[in-house]
């Protein structure tokens, strides 16, 4: 292990969405690639009523995505004393000061400044109060916040590993608040103190945090600590090129899990939201993602979230993965639908693997194993009206299919060849096209007009079920 350390620091103000998951994944890939440690820190200083549920959702989502952490989860809310202590140190060192300006006064000033077309920045009213003035106000129990004393001139420059050199002029950086009037530390203070205490060396996070970075660098410097490496990840947009939101169907990660996406394909898809391997390949196994990931490959341009592409990735992965690998996922789906039977794990396992192999090439989502697979797992399935109208409308099938059933019943071997030879010979004998029987049989056996090869279906359905279903045409 190197002494590098990254972290994922979500605020549990909502479920884990695509953007947060992409940040977590990039940190994880970086850590795995570099042998760095991965810290999980929940930044829960904004108390929301549903905090516990959100935290659970974040942890469940990370686990589903296969993201593991070496340290944590730490909860920022448990470290408030530490943040306050650092703020007091900064105050004592003259690097922070009490500000007694009321919220109303600041709102007023902000309003008049914006009405003049100026960008508001705290005007430093309390920056140069003398000791006595400060003591007086404190004694009068006047409400105050602690502000950081930012340098007035110069600029802050940092090298972002993705965006290159970024310069912010001090004129635009105000004396930002470190501790609120209710003694709660602000995000800037908490994040920097925690990153320092936890030994974080590389901060990989969304580009929406770029504007926070200069203030945080000022804090590192004020505390005499090494500034970590920063890498900001490009924004994720919807297909309409606006920032990704619920409108784009970008829902919580757990929704994708529940819809039947594989974590393998989701990882692969997420990894390509802002990163590409040198050779531009798109379908990568986890080992390849890890070995090829580098911050150099992260793009400055916004990434586009395309749910059709995700679905395509999913169908590709479903067809590539072995039935054995898919089995636990299919098992979960079967359990969820009440179709799981214990002997699927024992004497029927080989059969189940064959069914998975048959269905996986057409599956786009894990739920397709139920939608398409239901006739394999249960006799209780509907025959689609369209399929019936299309392939069972020929009157002759009313007698032909039950007759075919009788013939199939006589087979002593019920393999692919046996069933095919029998059906074709039967069609020849009746001077009809085999297709007529095949299409009709498909509808009766599966309820659908599109399904895997009919003889594969018959063999996996088994002789009894095939015969029974064909016999019961009306
Ligand atoms: N808690 C912050 C967020 O969820 C992240 C802080 C950071 O990465 O610096 O946006």
394 shares a domain with 467: yes
Specify if 2 maps to a domain.
yes
pLDDT tens-digit readout, 61-80? 999 999 999 999 999 999 99
In a domain, 226, yes or no: no
Output the pTM of the full model: 0.90
Assign 45 a pLDDT band (cuts: 50, 70, 90): confident
User: For the domain that residue 402 is a member of, what is the CATH number?
Assistant: 1.10.10.350
List pLDDT tens digits, range 364-409: 999 999 999 999 999 999 999 999 999 999 999 999 999 999 999 9
**Does residue 188's CB lie within 6 angstroms of at least one atom of ligand 1?**
no
Q: How far is CA 263 from the centre of its chain?
A: 9
Instruction: Please give the residue range of the domain that contains residue 3.
Output: 1-69+234-320
Q: Which whole number is the average pLDDT over 308-316? A: 94
How many CA atoms within 13 Å lie on the side-chain side of 282?
9
For residue 50, the model assigns a pLDDT of: 64
277 alpha carbon – ligand 1 mean position (Å): 26
Ligand 1: does its nearest atom lie under 6 Å from the Cβ of 10? yes
Partners of 164 in beta bridges: 160
Query: Is residue 222 pLDDT above 80, yes or no?
Result: yes
| Distance between CA atoms of residues 105 and 111, nearest Å | 10
Strand partners, 440: none
Q: Residue 423: which residues within 8 A CB-CB, separation 6 or more?
A: 404, 434, 437, 438, 441, 455
User: Greatest CA separation found in the chain?
Assistant: 111
Per-residue pLDDT, 46: 79
Q: How far is the CA of 355 from the centre of ligand 1 (A)?
A: 45
Local confidence band at 210 (pLDDT 50, 70, 90 cut-offs): very high
Query: Residue with structure tokens 């599109």?
Result: 450
214 sits in which H/E element: helix 213-222
Residue 199 above 70 pLDDT? yes
Q: Count of domains in the chain?
A: 4
For residues 185 and 463, what is the distance between their CA atoms, to the nearest angstrom? 71
Q: Above 70 in pLDDT, residue 474?
A: no
Indicate if 141 belongs to the active site: no
* Across 335-359, average pLDDT: 96
Question: In sequence order, which residues have a C-beta less than 8 Å from that of residue 313 and are 6 or more positions away?
Answer: 265, 268, 269, 283
Task: Tell me 451's DSSP state.
Answer: -
CATH number of domain containing 92: 3.90.800.10
Which of 320, 345, 360 delimits the end of a domain? 320
Say if CB 149 and CB 201 are below 8 A apart: no
297 and 369 within one domain:
no
In a domain, 208, yes or no: no
Return the C-alpha torsion angle 135, 141, 142, 148, nearest 10: 60
In a domain, 216, yes or no: no
| Structure tokens that stand for 105 in this block | 């006064």
pLDDT (tens digit per residue) in 90-104: 999 999 999 999 999
- What percentage of residues in the chain have a pLDDT greater than 90? 92
Residue 187 forms part of a structural domain: no
**pLDDT bucket at 138, cuts 50 / 70 / 90:** very high
407 domain-assigned: yes
Residue 250 pLDDT level (bands cut at 50, 70, 90) = low
C-alpha span between 253 and 26 (Å, rounded):
16
Examine the domain organization and report whether 312 and 339 are in the same domain.
no
The whole-number average pLDDT for the span 426-449 is: 97
- Is the pLDDT score of 116 beyond 80? yes
Predicted confidence band at 183 (pLDDT cuts at 50, 70, 90)?
Answer: very high
Q: How is the beta sheet containing 177-179 ordered, strand by strand?
A: 96-99, 145-148, 177-179
Strands 5-8 and 37-42: parallel
Partners of 275 in beta bridges: 298
Task: Pick the last residue of a domain from 179, 208, 243.
Answer: 179
Ligand 1 atom closest to the Cα of residue 206 is 8
Residue 27 DSSP symbol: H
Count of all residues that appear for the chain in the document: 474
Torsions phi, psi for 164 (to 5 deg): 80, -160
180: left (phi over 0), alpha (psi -120 to 50) or beta: beta
Q: Is residue 1 part of a domain?
A: yes
Report the SS3 class of residue 341.
Answer: coil
Give the residue carrying structure tokens 């064909």. Answer: 470
Percent of all residues in the chain with a pLDDT value above 70, rounded to a whole number:
99
**Is the CB of 367 within 6 Å of ligand 1?**
no
Residue nearest to atom 7 of ligand 1 (CA): 9
Same domain, 352 and 412: no
The ligand 1 atom nearest the CA atom of 43:
1
**Active-site residue, selected from the candidate residues 141, 241, 246, 393:** 246
* Separation of first and last alpha carbons in the chain: 68
Token couple for 261: 């996406």
Q: What is the pLDDT of residue 243?
A: 84
Residue 244 confidence (pLDDT): 84
For 234-243, what is each residue's pLDDT tens digit? 999 988 888 8
The position carrying tokens 């050199």 is 165
Instruction: Evaluate: CB of 191 within 6 angstroms of ligand 1.
Output: yes
200: in domain: no
Omega cis (within 30) before 73: yes
Do residues 354 and 426 share a domain? Answer: no
Q: How high does pLDDT run on average in the chain?
A: 95
Q: Are residues 313 and 327 in the same domain?
A: no
Specify the ligand 1 atom closest to the Cα of 191.
Answer: 9
Confidence of residue 251 (pLDDT cuts 50, 70, 90): confident
Q: Are residues 65 and 9 in the same domain?
A: yes
Of 137, 160, 179, the residue at which a domain comes to its end is 179
pLDDT confidence bin for 339, thresholds 50/70/90:
very high
Rounded average pLDDT over 32-54? 89
Q: Which helix (H) or strand (E) holds 371?
A: helix 368-371
Lowest mean pLDDT across 32-36, 248-252, 452-456: 248-252
| pLDDT confidence of residue 447 | 96
Q: In the prediction, which pLDDT does 241 show? A: 86
């Amino acid at each position: 292990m190197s002494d590098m350390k990254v972290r994922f620091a979500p605020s549990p103000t909502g479920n884990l969405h695509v953007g947060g998951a992409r940040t977590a994944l990039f940190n994880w890939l970086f850590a795995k690639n570099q042998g760095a440690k991965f810290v999980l820190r929940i930044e829960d200083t904004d108390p929301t009523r549903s905090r516990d549920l959100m935290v659970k959702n974040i942890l469940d989502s990370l686990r589903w995505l296969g993201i593991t952490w070496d340290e944590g989860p730490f909860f920022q809310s448990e470290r408030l004393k530490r943040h306050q202590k650092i703020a007091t140190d900064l105050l004592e060192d003259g690097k922070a000061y009490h500000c007694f300006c009321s919220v109303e006064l600041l709102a007023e000033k902000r309003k008049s400044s914006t009405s003049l077309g100026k960008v508001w920045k705290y005007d430093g009213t309390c920056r140069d109060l003398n000791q006595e003035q400060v003591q007086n106000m404190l004694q009068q129990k006047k409400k105050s916040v602690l502000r950081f004393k930012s340098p007035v001139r110069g600029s802050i420059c940092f090298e972002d590993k993705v965006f290159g050199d970024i310069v912010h002029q001090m004129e635009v950086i105000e004396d930002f608040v470190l501790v609120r009037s209710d003694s709660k530390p602000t995000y800037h203070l908490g994040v920097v103190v925690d990153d320092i205490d936890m030994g974080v060396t590389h901060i990989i996070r969304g580009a929406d945090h770029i504007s926070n970075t200069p203030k945080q660098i000022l804090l590192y410097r004020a505390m005499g600590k090494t500034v970590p490496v920063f890498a900001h990840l490009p924004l994720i947009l919807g297909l309409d090129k606006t920032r990704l939101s619920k409108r784009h169907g970008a829902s919580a990660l757990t929704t994708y899990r529940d819809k039947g996406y594989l974590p393998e394909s989701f990882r692969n898809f997420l990894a390509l939201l802002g990163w590409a391997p040198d050779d531009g390949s798109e379908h990568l196994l986890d080992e390849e993602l890890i070995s090829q990931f580098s911050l150099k490959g992260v793009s400055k341009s916004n990434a586009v979230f395309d749910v059709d592409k995700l679905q395509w990735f999913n169908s590709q992965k479903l067809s590539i993965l072995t039935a054995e690998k898919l089995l636990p996922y299919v098992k979960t789906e079967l359990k969820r639908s009440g179709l799981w039977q214990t002997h699927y794990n024992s004497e029927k396992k080989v059969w189940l693997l064959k069914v998975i192999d048959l269905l996986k090439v057409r599956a786009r989502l894990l739920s397709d194993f139920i939608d398409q697979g239901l006739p394999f797992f249960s006799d209780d399935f509907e025959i689609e009206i369209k399929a019936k109208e299309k392939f069972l409308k020929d009157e002759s099938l009313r007698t032909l299919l039950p007759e075919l059933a009788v013939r199939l019943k006589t087979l002593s071997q019920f393999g692919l060849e046996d069933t095919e030879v029998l059906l074709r010979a039967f069609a020849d004998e009746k001077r009809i096209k085999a297709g007529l029987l095949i299409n009709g049989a498909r509808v009766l056996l599966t309820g659908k007009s599109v399904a895997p090869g009919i003889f594969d279906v018959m063999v996996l359905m088994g002789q009894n079920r095939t015969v029974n279903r064909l016999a019961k045409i009306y």
